[in-house]
Amino acid sequence: MNKSIFVALVLLMAGGASAGAQSGPSPQEQMACRSDAGKFCAEHIGKPPQMNACLKENKTKLSDSCRKVVESRGG
């Protein structure tokens, strides 16, 4: 996975964390969604709000691990 997807996920998770009064994403959470973000939401890389919305919209298609992260972040 390329660096821009990783950065987008970091920004996505950080944005979700502030809304949920949670700490930033753990490395495990970032890894859980890395593949799914690239597969379903690559066009939203660098756009954290759109990436977050895209992952939520595709929640039924996500891997179990990523779906759990999205749900824990309010999705």
- The pLDDT averaged over each successive group of 10 residues in the chain (75 residues) is 61 52 65 92 85 91 94 86
Q: Tokens at residue 58, please?
A: 């595709």
Domains contained in the chain, number:
1
What residues make up the domain containing 52? 3-72
- The CA-based angle 44-48-49, given to 5 degrees, is 95
Are 4 and 45 within 8 A, CB to CB?
A: yes
> Whole-model pTM above 0.75?
no
Question: What CA–CA distance (Å, rounded) separates 3 from 21?
Answer: 26
Q: Given this model, what pLDDT does residue 57 score?
A: 96
Task: Return mean pLDDT, the chain.
Answer: 78
Q: Given this model, what pLDDT does residue 7 score?
A: 62
Q: Given this model, what pLDDT does residue 61 score?
A: 97
Residue 56: in which H helix or E strand, if any?
Answer: helix 48-57
Q: Given this model, what pLDDT does residue 36 score?
A: 94
Q: Given this model, what pLDDT does residue 28 score?
A: 87
